Structure 1
Amino acid sequence: MESADELLEHLDPEQREVATRFGVPLCVRAGAGTGKTRAITYRIAYAARAGILDPRNVMALTFTSRAAGELRSRLRDLGVRGASAHTFHAAALRQLGYFWGTAIGGAVPPIAENKLSMVAQAAGQLGMTTDSVSLRDMASEIEWSRVSLVTPDDYPDRARSLQRDQAAGYPAEEIARLIRAYEDVKQNRGVIDFEDVLLLLIGILIDRPDVARMVRDQYRHFVVDEYQDVSPLQHRLLQLWMGERRDLCVVGDVSQTIYSFAGASSRYLADFAREFRGAQILELIRDYRSSPQIVACANEVIAPDSSKGAVRLVSQLPSSVPVVFKEYGDDVEEAEAVAAEILQLREKGVGLADIAVLYRTNAQSAEFEAALGRAGVDYSIRGSERFFSRREVREAMVGMRAAARAEAGGALADDVKAVLMQRGWREQPPEGAGAARERWSALAALLKMAEEMERARGAGMAEFVAELEERAQIQAAPETDSVTLASLHSAKGLEWHAVFLVGMSEGLMPISLAKGEDAIDEERRLMYVGITRAKQCLQISYAKGNGQRSARKMSRFLQGTWPRPSEPVSRATSYRERKAAAARQFAAEHEDDVPLFEALVEWRLEASRRIDKPAYVILHDSTLRAVAVAKPATLAQLGKIRGIGASKLAEWGEEILGVVAQSGSGR
């Protein structure tokens, strides 16, 4: 196991500062691809190895189960055991279950997995619309009000101030009534929702100082990832968890604030030093993910955003291919062209799992699904069928549990391969696309994960099964060999070798529903997130038409970044450019003949003055260059040169031969 100092050797200077700066509240402004997760996991590992803290007293918080699972996995790879790494909701739910009997009594009420039925009942009681679209909008607004700590009484004024006063087409006063009715429905059903998990724990920590003291005795060091996504509700809970303590490290990027519509607020990140006196601010700007071309594009797109605390990325990678910009006639043409480009990438050796097609709305995926299907390219839609719900995956996990109980003693990857082959899996994939290929890819993903765990930490079958079971609980699927289709929101936190950013036209980016300056700014940040998912290859495109008319325009966010079309050039300008190009080419190919050509040009100018006519009437530059190369010594030789006919030869032949002879070049 590496020592504390040896751990630091894996970090760059700024990451090392993050890992070693203790004793003050620390805010890390970390741009996309700068290794923020690496920095915070090494911070915990370094402090544990150096004896600065006990990992059991650490609470690391993030915003998705997948990200929390990755934190735990990386900490295990670094030999750290005992640290808590959870989402806010998961951490709160564990504490709520532990303290409920003491603080409230009885069992924690069941959590409603989906609030739509309760919203529908509340809306029906008020005579409001209950179609599926309206219900989703109503549920989102109820969630926003609760995570923003906005009461029904305060909702109308707050919603109007933020231009949210027409949710589901209803005035703010009606939505406030709906929020009250929803709370009544929930209470009558005897259930709580996910927001209640945090709200109830906050109430317990406020009302029961003894419970708050127990929590603070357990958790003394806090790390919060993606701090730009913190909501007022989560921020309040964090305050109560910490109490008077100041051992807090937060990491975030205001340029990736894309969940304001759901209650997230980057102001806690931007104003960290104001909230925590004596806090120190560090920046991570070295981008290890994206090429200089992609980073330059991202910086240009985000530049007009004036968010406080933003950082400007600097790529650390070698120069790569340029960013590609494409305009298509319609959606079908765009999808077919992208599918063709993906086939070319595959031919060049890029794995399908390292390619993504990203779009603004889920409805845009249909054309790309169809085009990839016709091309025989496997794809997976992020957020669709859950990996661990697949039959072949469940059956494979049963076999691996049996192997773990039998204490399989070989190398992990070999043992996993044996289990898979017992169930009919083979190393060679089936031909073509379809269900058989999807099943093969799912099982191949398990084998790849086993190989990575064996390489990273020498894991055995028992540890592999435990990892799978944890991933199944949080739906953190391993990577499959297929192209990813994903919305920009669902792509956050991920990366691919090649990214196709499609449908980047006005009305889709920014989305037509975005009203007001703040909403438009958030759409710009969303495009920035999409661009920074790409490592080496990025193509940005849009379709001018939708099958009926060509009315779409390029997204305003790409103005100044999208290459300008060639502007019409005047004849005079065109002639000058061609003349200059010809001169450069002649000089490069016939360097020794340039002096004679220049002498011939001088002679032609003097002759044109004698006859009072333009120089080109005598001979063109191309003819003079041919003379300079041929260096004729007789009229017969001169007459063979293209551009010198009988009349030219009779009128100017002797003078031309004289210039050639005077130069000492005559043959």
Structure 2
Amino acid sequence: MAVLLRRVRPEDWRPVGVNALEANALKVVRSTDNRSVIAGPGAGKTELLAQRAAYLLQTGEAPPARRILAISVKRDAATNLASRVRQRCHRNHAGRFDSMTFDAFAKGLIDRFGQALPDRWRPRPDYEIIFPNDRDYRDFLYQQAGTPPSSVGTYADLQGIAVKTFERRHLVGTPLPLGGWSYPTVGEWAAERLWQRSLHEGKKSVLSFPMIGRLAELLLRVNPMARDALRLTYSHLFMDEFQDTTQVQYDLVRTIFHGTDTTLTAVGDNKQQIMRWAMAMDDPFAAFDVDFAGKRTPLYNNYRSSPELVRIQHVLAQALDTRAVAPVSQTTGTIAGDSCAIWDFSSPEVEAAYLAAFVAAEMRKHNLGPRDFVLLVRQKASDYAVVLEPAFNAAGIPLRNEAGTVGAVMLQELLAEEASELAIAILRLAMTNRAGRYWTESQEALAALQGITPDDEAAQSRLARELDAYAINLSKSHPTPPKSNAAARAIIDDILSFVGRDRLIAVHPAYGQGGWLEKVLDAAAVHLYASSVSGGDWSTALDAYEGVHAIPLMTIHKSKGLEYHSVIFIGLDDGAWWSFANDQLEATAGFFVAFTRAKQRVIFTYCGRRGARSTIAALYGLLEKAGVRTYKMT
């Protein structure tokens, strides 16, 4: 029986689960026009969008016959937003909220409607997803493309194309022409050659995600029925981390929603744009404001960082945007001494030992856990881990390189994979005490896979009984953690059989392409066994799988969207920031992102053995301007 939810009058609606929102945030939540929201670090971007979803769904401003679509650049952002909406809304309302990445959205369109593309641009249904790099494009341009016709140019012209800009400028730089390029430049000729080769040669079509995005945009241009169906389905569109939107992604949104009654909300921070290397637009907010008459709305509060850190952040922010308005910290400082400092060490070994002892002491002093800290590096985390790991292990704090790989999957990505998350939730439910949270997570995930709506009480009850029975059988079949990789894989396969492989692929289409599901399952099994070798019980093994008691080591790019009590950035030197001079703006934005992960403290470390600090003198200058002091450590 369907549950009828009482509609709240817009004037009576109040924020859900929070005491209040800042004035501008509340204006965005209640807005009926298109908004571009500039929300700095700690401003509560996820909370803002969750509250807006609650307002629209609970008041009926998003009509019951229509849905809300939220698109994010990163998958963890999409997952976090969906989770927050479930916390703020009745499950019937949350069931009308679709949160996904741009890549998943575009891929879903191609998987459903791609065979309606004209022959020239039609991929085979069993296409494979690839992740080409500069070397692949170099090999194509200089060895595989051939010689262009004389009417287009010469082989020398082809060699003159910059490898690093071929994809951005030529391959996916502009919307695809329906009939191909009529009078192509040499770059367009090369792009056409690669498109046709990727689509029609070989056993399978092979496509990158940007190529899928371009095909999806073309599909909706030539198939008005599919485009109109999307327009009718979604009354509102949210775009998160909008500063990292690529031209491919923006053009897809514009083709679908420009000139419609769908209301758009774009949220992000132009000071945190660190994805220009991955084709992010230079200024997507400016384009949005012009194309969609977006009303620019800034948020001023910072709910993450202490007042002293916010003061320093503003100095960095002004280096990225001279018009940046000083944010207002909504929290308090809880530590004595410097909130930010630069520590200068004589060697990496001295540095590692000192940092490990420091973290151990701070954990005791402030009653913190290892995951209240993060060790950030610019790149090559494994090189740093070689020295850091022994020192932290000696201090009784396991260190985990989350930028490392397990099989063919990066560890941090594995932990965010739906198959891995569901397997661990079911194992927690079956093998540990006080697992109520995991029962709820498992029930909701399985209901989504089986297409069971929240108000189908009979089906929900049946699923609950099946889940309870399976958890009991699983605990009896595997009373102890696995003693081999084969045993771990058997457990993962057992869970997959219960979940349903076909269901998992149907809901998460990426698992149906290129053997990705097998790679994830293999990685999950390898990591589960590695997490069990200590000989502890299931709770210990699952804690190790998720890194509950380990301090994380990761790169700046992988830290985006996360927050920690204390951030320790290792390697503020020219060696780590070798590309600083090539793109000082993006490098400074990365520096800003690293700094703004912290709630209470930021420590930068320097060691002369790793490199000088002349190329990045500008970064040191910013810290000095903010009053950050350098200490010589022995």
Aligned counterpart in structure 2 of residue 20 of structure 1, from 22, 29, 54: 29
Matches of 2:541 and 2:55 in 1, distance apart?
A: 32
Matches of 1:416 and 1:319 in 2, distance apart?
A: 49
Matches of 1:265 and 1:307 in 2, distance apart?
A: 20
Match for residue 580 of structure 2? 514
Distance of aligned partners of 1:21 and 1:298 in 2 relative to their CA distance in 1, 3 Å threshold? same
* Unmatched 5+ stretches in structure 1: 129-137, 154-172, 426-433, 449-476, 567-667
Matches of 1:250 and 1:178 in 2, distance apart?
A: 35
Matches of 1:178 and 1:401 in 2, distance apart?
A: 55
Give the 5 Å matches for 1:336-485.
336-348=353-365, 349-363=367-381, 364-366=383-385, 367-384=387-404, 385=406, 386=411, 387=414, 394=423, 397=426, 407=464, 422-423=479-480, 435-436=531-532, 443=539, 480-485=548-553
Q: Offset of 1:13 from its aligned partner?
A: 2.6
Matches of 2:241 and 2:586 in 1, distance apart?
A: 16
State whether structure 2 residue 588 is matched by structure 1 residue 524: yes
Aligned counterpart in structure 2 of residue 59 of structure 1, from 62, 69, 74: 69
Q: Deviations over 1:378-407 (max 9, x none)?
A: 122223334469999958746858997884
Q: Offset of 1:526 from its aligned partner?
A: 0.8
Matches of 1:442 and 1:295 in 2, distance apart?
A: 42
Matches of 2:537 and 2:318 in 1, distance apart?
A: 40
Distance of aligned partners of 1:87 and 1:106 in 2 relative to their CA distance in 1, 3 Å threshold? closer
Match for residue 73 of structure 1? 83
Q: Offset of 1:371 from its aligned partner?
A: 2.9
Match for residue 486 of structure 1? 554
Match for residue 264 of structure 1? 280
Give the 5 Å matches for 1:622-637.
none
* Unmatched 5+ stretches in structure 2: 147-161, 178-184, 432-438, 444-461, 483-529
| Identity of matched residues, % | 21
Aligned counterpart in structure 2 of residue 7 of structure 1, from 15, 40, 52: 15
Q: Offset of 1:199 from its aligned partner?
A: 0.9
Q: Deviations over 1:192-212 (max 9, x none)?
A: 222221111111111122222
State whether structure 2 residue 106 is matched by structure 1 residue 92: yes
Aligned counterpart in structure 2 of residue 301 of structure 1, from 316, 333, 339: 316
Distance of aligned partners of 1:484 and 1:311 in 2 relative to their CA distance in 1, 3 Å threshold? farther
Distance of aligned partners of 1:264 and 1:541 in 2 relative to their CA distance in 1, 3 Å threshold? same
Residue pair 2:34, 2:264 contacting (<8 A) in 1 also: yes
Aligned counterpart in structure 2 of residue 557 of structure 1, from 619, 630, 633: 619
Distance of aligned partners of 1:142 and 1:76 in 2 relative to their CA distance in 1, 3 Å threshold? farther
Residue pair 1:292, 1:314 contacting (<8 A) in 2 also: yes
Residue pair 2:145, 2:190 contacting (<8 A) in 1 also: no
Distance of aligned partners of 1:496 and 1:445 in 2 relative to their CA distance in 1, 3 Å threshold? farther
Give the 5 Å matches for 1:178-197.
182-183=194-195, 185-187=197-199, 188-189=201-202, 190-197=205-212
Amino acid at match of 1:512: W
Q: Deviations over 1:126-165 (max 9, x none)?
A: 599xxxxxxxxx9865543468616999xxxxxxxxxxxx
Matches of 1:221 and 1:271 in 2, distance apart?
A: 19
Match for residue 290 of structure 2? 274
Match for residue 47 of structure 1? 56
Residue pair 1:216, 1:243 contacting (<8 A) in 2 also: no
Q: Deviations over 1:262-301 (max 9, x none)?
A: 2112512145433333x32222121111111221222222
Matches of 2:28 and 2:535 in 1, distance apart?
A: 42
Q: TM (normalized to structure 1)?
A: 0.64
Match for residue 500 of structure 1? 568
Matches of 1:36 and 1:542 in 2, distance apart?
A: 33
Q: Deviations over 1:76-113 (max 9, x none)?
A: 22222121111111111112222224455895341233
Distance of aligned partners of 1:416 and 1:356 in 2 relative to their CA distance in 1, 3 Å threshold? farther
SS at match of 2:13: helix
Q: Offset of 1:564 from its aligned partner?
A: 5.5
Amino acid at match of 1:544: G
Q: Offset of 1:416 from its aligned partner?
A: 13
Q: CA RMSD in A?
A: 4.3
Match for residue 35 of structure 1? 44
Matches of 2:397 and 2:568 in 1, distance apart?
A: 15
Distance of aligned partners of 1:70 and 1:271 in 2 relative to their CA distance in 1, 3 Å threshold? same
Q: Deviations over 1:352-377 (max 9, x none)?
A: 11110001112553332343244342
Matches of 2:259 and 2:612 in 1, distance apart?
A: 61
Match for residue 454 of structure 2? none
Q: Deviations over 1:398-438 (max 9, x none)?
A: 685899788469999x999978993359xxxxxxxx95588
State whether structure 2 residue 333 is matched by structure 1 residue 324: no
Residue pair 1:14, 1:283 contacting (<8 A) in 2 also: no
Aligned counterpart in structure 2 of residue 82 of structure 1, from 90, 96, 104: 96
Distance of aligned partners of 1:442 and 1:25 in 2 relative to their CA distance in 1, 3 Å threshold? farther
Q: Deviations over 1:31-89 (max 9, x none)?
A: 11011110111101111101100474211110111111111111122222121111111
Match for residue 471 of structure 1? none
SS at match of 2:343: strand
Distance of aligned partners of 1:216 and 1:443 in 2 relative to their CA distance in 1, 3 Å threshold? farther
Distance of aligned partners of 1:108 and 1:15 in 2 relative to their CA distance in 1, 3 Å threshold? farther
Distance of aligned partners of 1:255 and 1:201 in 2 relative to their CA distance in 1, 3 Å threshold? same
Distance of aligned partners of 1:411 and 1:343 in 2 relative to their CA distance in 1, 3 Å threshold? farther
Residue pair 1:420, 1:443 contacting (<8 A) in 2 also: no
Residue pair 1:57, 1:83 contacting (<8 A) in 2 also: yes
SS at match of 1:372: helix
Q: TM (normalized to structure 2)?
A: 0.67
Distance of aligned partners of 1:180 and 1:345 in 2 relative to their CA distance in 1, 3 Å threshold? farther
User: 203-212 or 105-114, which moves further after superposition?
Assistant: 105-114
Residue pair 1:396, 1:423 contacting (<8 A) in 2 also: no
Identify the structure with bigger relative contact order (alpha carbons < 8 Å, sequence gap 6+).
2
Residue pair 1:25, 1:249 contacting (<8 A) in 2 also: yes
Match for residue 335 of structure 1? 352
Q: Offset of 1:540 from its aligned partner?
A: 1.5
SS at match of 1:350: coil
Q: How many residue pairs end up in the alignment? A: 494
Matches of 1:29 and 1:304 in 2, distance apart?
A: 17
Residue pair 2:343, 2:605 contacting (<8 A) in 1 also: yes
Matches of 1:438 and 1:300 in 2, distance apart?
A: 47
SS at match of 2:319: coil
Distance of aligned partners of 1:407 and 1:565 in 2 relative to their CA distance in 1, 3 Å threshold? closer
Matches of 1:194 and 1:148 in 2, distance apart?
A: 10
User: 550-559 or 215-224, which moves further after superposition?
Assistant: 550-559
User: 31-40 or 14-23, which moves further after superposition?
Assistant: 14-23
Matches of 1:380 and 1:341 in 2, distance apart?
A: 17
Q: Offset of 1:532 from its aligned partner?
A: 0.6
